[in-house]
A and B are shown apart, each in its own frame.
Chain A
Amino acid sequence: MTTAPPASPQAATAGPAASRRMGRAPLVALLGVMLLAAIVVSLGVGAVQISPAAVVGIILDHLGIDSGIEFTARQDAVLWSIRLPRVMLGVVVGAGLAVAGAALQGIFRNPLADPQLIGVSSGAALGSAGAIALAGGSLGLLAGPIGGFVGGMAAGLAVYALARHEGRTEVVTLILAGIAVAAIGGAGAGMLSFVVDDPAIRTALFWSLGSLSVATWKLWWVTLPFVLAGLVVLPMFARALNLTLLGEREAQHLGVDVERVRMVVLAVAVLTVGATVAAAGVIGFIGLLVPHGVRLAAGPDHRVVLPASAVGGAALVVLADLAARTMASPIDVPVGLLTAVVGGPLFLWLLRRTRREHGGWG
């Protein structure tokens, strides 16, 4: 264990010296191939039989190309209206969660800052459910992501304020405050789903463990811009986040307005997370698993971590959802169960390692 590569934030200053680390282009390309493979496999698998050729034929047909491949109208409807929107929503949700997770870890200088673990996701769930209950009629599908942003931001700021002490963020307090805020948010969203007898509010299970089963093209289009905001804006702060890793004072001296960076990145990350939660509930550990995997492979440079996490997160959620809808068919297993099975142990391991680096929690 002592020979493990220096993947801690402090290693950011080590630069690209370590030759065994992958560069940005090959890593993103590799993850991109994985994502593509995950999408292709997902589109071909389901209770309704659609041959790979028919999958291609249907997609070409919708792009206005007549391929001459035969398929039935029902296969067309299943692929185009059910499977494809679900897979594409998985791509968007996964990319958003992973890039937001990586960014949150950057601003909090804490490898454990997963959107779910620090309470942002549950806050977003409460905000989302509340907004759907109060304003679902007037705002329609937009109520979810907007409410998610408000709730997630409230949770994020609360946790941040609680964890700040003498100009630095305490690792333990951050997580403990996250647990408390997550409990409040989760309970609130769950209670709403019990009290309000409207299927649009969704079930407590949806809010706590997530599902992509409600995917439609409309929902996808509503979610996409919020996640795109994260995918475009967050990487712009990659350099600032790298400098912040040196230490806040050091970054300040190097011309980074640490507090402003922190607020903007937090807001954009929460905007992204809020939209994913509104669309697919709370899918945990994606924002923890993926950035961490990327750091192990390519080091802590945010210029690599942010884009690579986005692609990797998309692939991971698409694959997890494929398992969710097929492994216990005809039951739709909440996808968050599967991500937690993998993410939980990783979190424990990270917890141990973080404690060692900090020399105990004290």
Chain B
Amino acid sequence: MKRLAIPETGNLARGASARSPRRWVGPIAVLLVSALIATACGGDDAAATTTAAPTTTGTGGGLPVVYTGADGVESTITDAGRIVTLSGEFTEIVFALGLGGNVVGVDLSSVYPEEAADLPKVGVERLLLAEPIIAQNPTVVLGDVDATPVEVIDQVRQTGIPVVIFPRYEGVDAPATKIREVARVLGIPETGEELAASVQEEIDAVVAATAAVEERPPAAVVYLANRGSTILMLGDNTVMEGLLEAAGAIDVAPAAGADGMMPLTPEALAGGAPDYIITTDRGIDATGGLEGFLEIPGVGETPAAAAGNILVFEDLYLLGLGPRTGQLLRDLATAFHPDLTIP
């Protein structure tokens, strides 16, 4: 399985862009206390420094673009020379589109690619501040409906900076759609089309290969944002919708009544008896390693635990729905069906 080391800042990062709207409130309250202590001891951070004049490299010929966001606000993007992203999934897409050099600020969830993790941090979703974003002097800001408080987004817009608010995308078609939309906003629709097509091709290959599979193991995606936060099962109406099916498994969440993110109950897991449990690095870290993870009520009693079928992925890789989703599906399909040949 693909496992990437998560930098320090990853602990505060954004998780699944799933439906449950307030999933960050608890963990962040806890983490803020540690952030406070860390800051009190640590001193200055680099995020607050103002950077140099705008660069103009990579500004596509497709600009200006007018985009009406999920918040109903129309933004006109005239320059993609200085990009700030408010969510790791957009950071990843911008880098995959070849505009990584134009990114001047990222949110705390931007842990991939590695270059992005070194960029100035402008905040964390739901607790955004306007000034750190504005201080990077961006020409365009990319976020989704979780980029709140909305007043802060308004404040950034008042300084003349366009802020693009994308909707939540879900399911196997989401990566291509998202890539196309981000590329269009940045004025490089052709590059976006190419990347989207290649990602879709990878996804389709897995879907085609698993279509004929008859024995579909039950599987569950278990997500834990931070130590002490609610353990969630991701079902329909989350980023995971349809992904397990595409990889040749049966998602036990819908049968257990999960719509969106559902707090995990031992009954739900035991009832579904998943052969595979899929989770993220951060969840494993938050429970103090695999042993701790298996001690979560209900998890240890599953066939998945007995067979050692706990699949661990980096958070953005599993939940980011982006350029790497084809690879993710391939990983999953190969784990579910070791004998399956995927072209």
Hey, which bits of chain A sit against chain B, CB under 8 A? 46-49, 73-74, 77-78, 81-83, 193-194, 197, 199-200, 202-206, 208-209, 211, 213-216, 325-334, 337
Contacts and interface: CB of A to CB of B under 8 A. Distances in A.
B77 interface: no
B148 interface: yes
Contacts of A78: 130-131, 134, 159
B341 interface: no
Given A328-B35, A331-B32, A331-B124, A81 B155 contact: yes
B123 A331 contact: yes
Nearest to B147: A199
A107 B33 CA distance: 35
Contacts of A73: 160
B91 to A, nearest CB: 15
A245 to B, nearest CB: 39
Nearest to A323: B36
21 contacts: A47-B48, A47-B50, A47-B135, A48-B50, A74-B137, A74-B160, A81-B158, A82-B130, A82-B134, A203-B148, A205-B28, A205-B29, A205-B126, A213-B127, A328-B32, A329-B45, A331-B12, A331-B123, A332-B123, A332-B128, A333-B32
A49 B50 CA distance: 7
A200 B267 CA distance: 35
Contacts of B47: 47, 329-330
Interface of B: 12, 21-22, 25, 28-29, 32-33, 35-36, 39-40, 45, 47-48, 50, 108, 121-124, 126-135, 137, 148-152, 154-155, 158-160
B48 A213 contact: no
**Mostly helix, strand, loop or mixed at chain B's interface?**
helix
A321 B50 CA distance: 22
A77 B22 contact: no
A331 B50 CA distance: 16
Nearest to A329: B48
Given A48-B131, A82-B130, 9 more contacts: A78-B159, A82-B131, A193-B25, A213-B149, A213-B151, A214-B151, A328-B36, A332-B128, A333-B36
Given A48-B50, A214-B149, A197 B21 contact: yes
Contact of B35 (A193, A199, A204, A333): A333
B102 to A, nearest CB: 19
Given A74-B159, A214-B151, A329-B48, A205 B25 contact: yes
Contacts of B155: 81-82, 216
Contacts of B150: 199-200
B7 to A, nearest CB: 16
Contacts of A194: 21-22
Q: Which of A73, A214, A332, A337 has the most chain B CB atoms closer than 10 A to its own CB? A: A332
Contact of A202 (B108, B137, B149): B149
B25 A325 contact: no
A199 B148 contact: yes
Given A203-B22, A205-B25, A77 B149 contact: no
A199 B73 CA distance: 15
